């Protein structure tokens, strides 16, 4: 890595989003022009088309907005079938979809508090995307 790269803001890509996740940081992009926030991040603000963005760290707790039980899944998720997949509203109204685990499906409720868990992947090799899911927030 040269000097110029060191001072550069990490690019607003899905790869960088997962790289932060592997460091247990949930990061969104915020537009410096209009304040719009994006999770996962986008390289261009879809509100004002600015490329003047900043990384912001987001709280990893939120409330379940909606969910569904998945019976047919992509290969990667087949070991988990059937599983619950929902959308969780985090602070600032940011929403992140993800699997819901560590709970009986019958006990899942809209509005329940969940927190994000990041699982380290088996190897240290990059790019190896970490797996994340939501679990009930311990009271
Ligand atoms: Zn903007």
Asked whether 117 and 100 are in contact (CB, 8 A), the reply is: no
Tell how far the Cα of 33 is from the centroid of ligand 1, in angstroms. 5
13 C-alpha vs ligand 1 centroid, how far in Å? 17
Residue whose pair of structure tokens reads 């679990």 in the numeric block: 135
Distance 29 CA to ligand 1 centre (A): 10
CA 20 from centroid of its chain's CA atoms: 10
CA of 41 to the centre of ligand 1 (A): 12
How many alpha carbons fall within 13 Å on the CB side of residue 46?
A: 7
Q: Which pLDDT tens digits describe the chain residue by residue (139 residues)? A: 455 555 578 899 988 998 899 888 999 999 999 999 999 899 999 999 999 999 999 999 999 999 999 999 888 788 889 999 999 999 778 999 999 999 999 999 999 999 999 987 655 555 556 789 999 997 6
- Measure 4 CA to ligand 1 centroid, in angstroms: 26
């Amino acid at each position: 890595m040269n000097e110029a790269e060191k001072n550069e803001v990490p690019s607003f890509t899905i790869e960088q989003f997962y790289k932060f996740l592997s460091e247990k940081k949930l990061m969104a992009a915020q537009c410096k022009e209009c304040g719009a926030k994006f999770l996962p991040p986008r390289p261009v603000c879809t509100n004002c088309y600015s490329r003047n963005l900043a990384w912001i760290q987001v709280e990893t707790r939120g409330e379940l907005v909606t969910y569904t039980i998945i019976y047919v899944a992509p290969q990667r998720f087949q070991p988990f079938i059937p599983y619950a997949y929902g959308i969780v509203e985090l602070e600032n109204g940011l929403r992140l979809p993800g699997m819901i685990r560590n709970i009986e499906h019958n006990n899942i409720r809209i509005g329940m508090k969940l927190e994000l868990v990041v699982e380290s992947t088996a190897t240290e090799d990059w790019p190896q995307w970490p797996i994340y899911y939501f679990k009930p927030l311990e009271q």
